[in-house]
Chains A and B, each alone.
Chain A
Amino acid sequence: RKEVEQDPGPFNVPEGATVAFNCTYSNSASQSFFWYRQDCRKEPKLLMSVYSSGNEDGRFTAQLNRASQYISLLIRDSKLSDSATYLCVVNMGSNYQLIWGAGTKLIIKP
């Protein structure tokens, strides 16, 4: 079993819709969690950190469920510019112990 698993997609979603995807992790000792965004043929960029209490940044909401060992990302009122691959990242205790998911591809259609 992979340490960090994501549905590769693609998720094809009409503009304005709400979309959510999950990421599961296998190690219960995982300490912190992040979502990165990667545009086609570009570098990853941090989208948001995921806190135990959940966090929201505009149209984006991230949640953590430690009991079931998954994190989620919800995007409301999706825009064409949200089309990208979303990478789930789990931190095992330091910057040198990041486990990266393979990503979920999201395509927003007009």
Chain B
Amino acid sequence: NAGVTQTPKFQVLKTGQSMTLQCAQDMNHNSMYWYRQDPGMGLRLIYYSASEGTTDKGEVPNGYNVSRLNKREFSLRLESAAPSQTSVYFCASSGPGTTDYEQYFGPGTRLTVT
């Protein structure tokens, strides 16, 4: 099992460019999440998906969109990147129930917006 995989590992964008971060899990989990991690701050939830076909906003959704393509895949899109979106992005999954609290994380994407 690969667990949770993310691509790309690193990315540099110019302000205004767009990109999609890809995430996939092979643990048959129902729930998937996108977080961002900034220095001196805890992980902040951007969007989550409780199950295939559903997505909901987290704490910091502005400037992002998501797609739950199927049970395995959950992508995060930046339509018009801004320097404030420079961060490390983690995808995570958990499940199959809603009370399986352990979250499994991907290796992260380090994004710099210039």
| Interface of A toward B, CB cutoff 8 Å | 4, 8, 32, 34, 41-46, 49, 87, 91, 94-96, 98-103
Contact = CB atoms under 8 A, between A and B. Distances in A.
A46 B103 contact: yes
B74 interface: no
Interface SS of chain A: helix, strand, loop or mixed?
strand
Given A43-B108, A45-B105, A95 B98 contact: yes
Contact of B101 (A4, A34, A45, A99): A34
A102 B107 CA distance: 18
Given A46-B103, A98-B43, 15 more contacts: A4-B42, A32-B101, A43-B106, A43-B107, A44-B103, A95-B48, A95-B94, A95-B98, A96-B31, A96-B48, A96-B56, A99-B42, A100-B43, A100-B44, A103-B42
Contacts, number: 54
Contact of A44 (B43, B98, B100, B101): B43
Q: Taking each of A41, A46, A95, which has the highest tally of chain B beta carbons within 10 Å of its own beta carbon?
A: A95
Nearest to A102: B42
A45 B43 CA distance: 13
A91 B43 CA distance: 13
Contacts of B40: 8, 102
Contacts of B98: 94-95
Interface in B46-74: 48, 50, 56, 58
8 contacts: A44-B43, A44-B103, A87-B43, A91-B101, A95-B99, A95-B100, A96-B48, A103-B42
A38 B58 CA distance: 22
